[in-house]
Amino acid sequence: MTDKPQTTPKAEKPNKIETAQSAEKKNNSGKIFLILSILLFLTCGYLLKLYLDQKELLEQVTAEKNEVISEKDLVKMELEKMLKEYELLETDNEELKAEIEAEKEKIKDLLDKIDRYKYSLYKAKKEADRLREILKQKYEEIDSLNTANKILKQENQQITQELTTQKTQNEELSQVNEELTTKVNVASRLKTINTQAYAIKIKKSNNTSKPVTRASKADKIRIKFTILKNEVTPPGKKWIYVRILGPDGKVLAEGNSDEYKFEFNGVKGLYSIKKQIDYQNEEMQVQMDWAKINDFLPGEYNIEIYESGVDIGRTKLELK
């Protein structure tokens, strides 16, 4: 049995109404898409503008913040610089030292407040300007003091130099005066010649005397000398002292008290005889006798003659 071929049914053609409705739907969808696209574009544009505005605002705020931080750092740097400059200020004036220390503490306190944001930048800058002005004043005060001290130092050096020069001149003059005084003193000293010392025996019957050489026979020791002419020494009354030292080294004297002592060669000692003379700058003969108190010892006797505490003559005597 042979199958019959199947026939494909023919598609139904849309009618006009359906076609019109379909076209209208497509047209509405396009409009909606367009509207949505426009809304999306506008929204994106708005969001972009909002983003850009926010970005600009953020950049502005950041810039302002950075500027504030930068100014803050500048103020801090200025204060730290001032603090170092205060550290370099040197003065011997105690009052000024105390003022400088007080200003340094103010700077440190201001730096601390700036670090902790407890001080507005405006106030900090204003205070920094005030501290800078004070620093300038301190510099001027110290410079003025240093200038005054420098002038005083120069004047002191000049005065010291003048005093040193004057002292040197005075010392030189004193030395010259001393030398002149020494020369005058030396020149004014009396000098003796022909100094003699011998023992004599007194004859009581006629009160005459004769030289002897034996100690047992001697009653006196006689000293004779000539004082030379001297026009430098002042004329007038002068005391002549004689010291007679016996063979035992002891001074022949009437006593041991200060009454029988005089100063000579820087010391004080006993004298044997003293006599006042009237010297008138002319050559003069002098005689002085020592009368025995105790018997004379045999041996050598040393005789020293003094005037104004200076040795003006010496001689010796030998008794058997």
Mean pLDDT on 233-249: 94
**Per-residue pLDDT reduced to its tens digit, 101-152:** 888 888 888 778 777 765 566 677 777 788 888 878 877 888 787 787 788 8
Q: Is 192-319 a domain of CATH 2.30.110.10? A: no
Mean pLDDT on 26-40: 78
Angle between helices 94-115 and 121-188 (to 10 degrees): 160
Query: 225 near 192, Cβ under 8 Å?
Result: yes
Q: pTM here?
A: 0.48
Which of 7-21, 96-110, 229-243 shows the lowest per-residue confidence on average (mean pLDDT)? 7-21
Boundaries of CATH 2.60.40.10 in the chain? 192-319
Q: Higher model confidence: residue 8 or residue 313?
A: 313
Asked whether residue 1 carries a pLDDT value surpassing 50, the answer given is no
Query: 201 near 195, Cβ under 8 Å?
Result: no
Predicted local confidence at residue 143, as pLDDT? 76
> Torsions phi, psi of 25, nearest 5?
-65, -45
**Per-residue pLDDT reduced to its tens digit, 59-102:** 555 545 544 456 777 777 888 888 888 887 777 788 888 888 88
Query: 240 near 228, Cβ under 8 Å?
Result: no
Predicted local confidence at residue 280, as pLDDT? 94
